[in-house]
Structure 1
């Protein structure tokens, strides 16, 4: 605590010092509060039981355990061990500075405890996500006659908001039942907000909505919690409906609302909605917030409007690492790897140093571009800047080398990784899969699950099924498709189903693939017929191809690819008349067939050639 010269050597009575400390603390000038106390000590005046709770509050807000421990010494020296008010402030300070053990020691040594003391200890455990301990204190305080109040339950519910939903959602429901029994659910807005926050964390938005609808008084936090909860579970439409209701209630819009709305726009990917939200951001003057700017960049990139994303990026004066990464990722995810790499080269010339996430995004651009030379340059940069042990970067290097055709380089990176996580294993298994090395992929999967004891997820099973498909390993593919469900409880996704159909189709099991699709959900069938139609063309099964085409055109009549596949099937079978009829249907329905294209690298420049075009496009 530094001595303030303007206050030194000036003798004031204690009540004046307390007034200065109180005003400084209440106005949020916490560092100044500690400076005032330092001056008071130097003037020979000691604090009382009104002084130290204010000072400890300042330490708690500054998260300054050093000053808090110093004040603890002063408290002991002046004999405030029996003062419940001072001791409660002391344990609250330790709690907010994440020193739960010290808070517990203070609590255990208190000769007298108040409800506030018990609440402070419950809050300490809840803040540290020690929910079992928090609940034990809740039961113990009730037995000793300290009936819990709204503050007690706000602490516990807030703790659940940072806990594992799978482990604690039943306990959370029990707390809700307890609140209903006590009749205090809607006694305070903060309590209802905490209850909604817990349900939103557990992704139980129907339960959260019931609480919200029954609230007589709603704060901005009430609306924000619900909007954010809907966005979290992917129901952006519900979030925007609620936002419209909020506007009709004349509720002020804050920074958090915009974060949620922009995140909703990123999910939906609709440009008109995104531009409307951006206009509202500008109207309310929130566009200068760094996190808002970065989300806006991501939002426009997700909507396919890279021009608007780049315009916002260029307007950011003090670009952070997140700003650069957002724009680079926007280019990568929109299929513009060259622009992403150009921006990265520009970034490394500034004072901003890339992090693991940034390098992983750049490596994705190299993978999309298929440029082994640039990928090797990025790896060299990785080693020179100490990122060779970053697992996110290592995983991206494996993916990049695999996509650039160097499976040996991918193996070398994989071998260097220590303490491999599921993502690293998945990346290497997928590398083997796309290179048609099915046996190697299956062997690595077996090593991961059996020898390393790593539990697989749906993503790694997609890579395993892809490996089986590309290598024609039918029996193995069927075995893993069943094992995924039976042994690991993983429900098949669209990717798993299409891999299975592709696997059966490649080896000519057309009828079996057809029967398998018939048993799939309708939303999956729409994507599974395409691989089967490709298999019909490969194996010359015109009769099944016609049947599959009928199904495809019923689902998606505007998809020109189905007509092209069937026309190629007729052509390969010598049915030229039927092939010409299918081609004519494309023209008659004014469907647009996406032209084929290729890309070649010449002297660090990339040229693309489109079918039917005599000119190349320089990238």
Structure 2
């Protein structure tokens, strides 16, 4: 918190600075602001006989999350002395615009910055980049960045973090690389942004490279960077590496850092380690928060343990006095749905103190499909479409339910409805990182330069697992076709192509785990095939799909066939 503003104010009064020294009063405004004493900050400002641009900027910054910031700015412009804003004034205003999602006012501030010739200056430009990224106008942010005259570490950090936060990981990593090439020093913000981008694509090699970079730059023991490394490794499924980083920083991490480690375990469905960390956190004198319990409930959801999810949900409210968020209810509903308690799960969805969102109805639709409850699935599909009529998953999941039941007329009707409403099914994509380069595959993809080798390797694998007893899983086929066509359609799914490429000579070192990411849920046939392939090649195969991590080894999967 720094110095006590009241003591500083008392010293200014006794020394006479409170009456004559405008700089001292400006500092007092800032001190009161940082202490959350806004009324005192305003009182000090009003005592200044002739406030300058620094005085006004200090006052505007005090109310950065309130429309009063705008009002004070307008008062400054209308002042009889015609005071114009400087870089810091505009940056403070843009921070307010981002906080309040005041796009229109932010655009006006940008226009004013151009007129004053300040829009390309690093301080203002960095604030503009942050503003546009936080309001979702990433291309505007890039344009501002590209027009900057001199790009410093703050400018690059704003761009990298903004792109990472807007799920544009490839661009975020590109700008981080550009920063390195330009010789600009890394900061805890640019590194943590790059780690977030790498982990979004599960680029574990990039996470390791970035970890090495933090060691070289001395940022590895920074709490913000350390937490980002724990999160990055956790999101990439490298929980051992995440735990090693956590153990190194344990004594300086706050509740956020602990919850981040718990979340890494939760994505694996490892509820034992999550609960163990929760206990250790309390032994260290820290109180779990909503994020901590989100990790707990996520772990039980992935493990399919409805009773435990309900018990910990109750403890969260009764013993810890924490009000659940919508995300906590979603985990509970999902766990109950997985356990087949579909009616009870629907009751929770309809009686919770939140309006159910798409994630809630999708969880119920998915689990009712899994249990073959087409009547409930149909109802959940309609609920989902009420929120977003163009949600392709609503149609696809219901079509899956009908296909599993052999009700092909209903499957065709779903496809016809999608076509009539011009809703397009999201295509499956899988990618694998090999020697620092990401290779992306689509279903039946023949664009890769090693396509002939890939298809030959895949045929070899499929023949080998059939000899071991693998039987294709047909019940998620969405078209009524003959067995030969079904077999070919299943063989060439994107995740199988990515796996075959990873097993080619020269792609990955022998014995090294193969890591694949898919943008959709892994299908049941690929899941079954990967269990057999892990036996054939005697390798660990790790797949991160849209729901969770799957670790295939010796013919079984860490999810217990429950996803």
TM-score (norm 2): 0.66
- 2-side partners of 1:102 and 1:176: how far apart? 16
Task: Tell me the residue number matched to 1:436.
Answer: 372
Task: Tell me the residue number matched to 1:381.
Answer: 315
Task: Tell me the residue number matched to 1:400.
Answer: 335
Task: Tell me the residue number matched to 1:301.
Answer: 234
Distance 1:556 1:317, change over 3 A: same
Distance 1:438 1:189, change over 3 A: same
Q: How is 1:512-531 mapped onto 2 (pairs within 5 angstroms)?
A: 523-524=442-443
- 2-side partners of 1:179 and 1:380: how far apart? 52
Alpha-carbon distance, 1:403 to partner: 1.7
**Secondary structure of 2:251 counterpart:** coil
Tell me, yes or no, if the aligned pair for 1:95 and 1:103 is still in contact at 8 Å: no
Alpha-carbon distance, 1:111 to partner: 8.6
Distance 1:289 1:474, change over 3 A: farther
Tell me, yes or no, if the aligned pair for 2:330 and 2:360 is still in contact at 8 Å: yes
The higher relative CO (CA closer than 8 Å, separation ≥ 6) is in 2
- 2-side partners of 1:90 and 1:553: how far apart? 58
Task: Tell me the residue number matched to 1:31.
Answer: 4
**Secondary structure of 2:442 counterpart:** helix
- 1-side partners of 2:189 and 2:491: how far apart? 49
- 2-side partners of 1:219 and 1:547: how far apart? 53
Task: Tell me the residue number matched to 2:62.
Answer: 96
Alpha-carbon distance, 1:281 to partner: 1.6
- 1-side partners of 2:152 and 2:219: how far apart? 20
- 1-side partners of 2:230 and 2:208: how far apart? 12
Q: How is 1:121-140 mapped onto 2 (pairs within 5 angstroms)?
A: none
- 2-side partners of 1:480 and 1:114: how far apart? 68
Distance 1:464 1:344, change over 3 A: farther
Q: How is 1:77-156 mapped onto 2 (pairs within 5 angstroms)?
A: 83-85=49-51, 89=55, 93=59, 96-97=62-63, 98=65, 100-101=67-68, 104=71, 112-116=79-83, 119=85, 154=91
Alpha-carbon distance, 1:185 to partner: 6.0
Q: How is 1:232-381 mapped onto 2 (pairs within 5 angstroms)?
A: 232-315=165-248, 316-334=250-268, 336-347=270-281, 351-381=285-315
Whether 1:421 and 2:340 are equivalent positions in the alignment is no
Alpha-carbon distance, 1:214 to partner: 4.6
Tell me, yes or no, if the aligned pair for 1:87 and 1:110 is still in contact at 8 Å: no
Task: Tell me the residue number matched to 1:184.
Answer: 117
Q: Which is worse superposed, 454-463 or 52-61? A: 454-463
Distance 1:233 1:85, change over 3 A: closer
Alpha-carbon distance, 1:399 to partner: 0.9
- 2-side partners of 1:302 and 1:486: how far apart? 38
Unaligned runs of 5+ in 1: 1-27, 120-148, 497-520, 561-582, 596-607, 613-619
Deviations 1:409-439 (A, max 9, x none): 4244334412323033433343333322222
Tell me, yes or no, if the aligned pair for 1:265 and 1:274 is still in contact at 8 Å: yes
- Kindly tell me the number of residue pairs found equivalent between the two proteins: 478
Distance 1:59 1:481, change over 3 A: farther
- 2-side partners of 1:470 and 1:55: how far apart? 70
Larger radius of gyration: 1
Distance 1:474 1:418, change over 3 A: farther
Task: Tell me the residue number matched to 2:474.
Answer: 534
Tell me, yes or no, if the aligned pair for 2:32 and 2:41 is still in contact at 8 Å: yes
Q: How is 1:476-555 mapped onto 2 (pairs within 5 angstroms)?
A: 491-494=424-427, 523-524=442-443, 534=474, 541-545=482-486, 548=489
Tell me, yes or no, if the aligned pair for 1:363 and 1:397 is still in contact at 8 Å: yes
Alpha-carbon distance, 1:270 to partner: 3.5
Alpha-carbon distance, 1:493 to partner: 1.4
Q: Which is worse superposed, 408-417 or 204-213? A: 204-213
Tell me, yes or no, if the aligned pair for 1:357 and 1:392 is still in contact at 8 Å: no
- 2-side partners of 1:219 and 1:299: how far apart? 25
Task: Tell me the residue number matched to 2:497.
Answer: 556
Distance 1:322 1:428, change over 3 A: same
Distance 1:406 1:261, change over 3 A: same
Task: Tell me the residue number matched to 2:164.
Answer: 231
Distance 1:467 1:113, change over 3 A: farther
Two-structure CA RMSD over aligned residues (Å) = 5.1
TM-score (norm 1): 0.61
- 1-side partners of 2:380 and 2:297: how far apart? 24
Tell me, yes or no, if the aligned pair for 1:236 and 1:267 is still in contact at 8 Å: yes
Tell me, yes or no, if the aligned pair for 1:433 and 1:467 is still in contact at 8 Å: yes
Distance 1:392 1:310, change over 3 A: same
Distance 1:199 1:559, change over 3 A: same
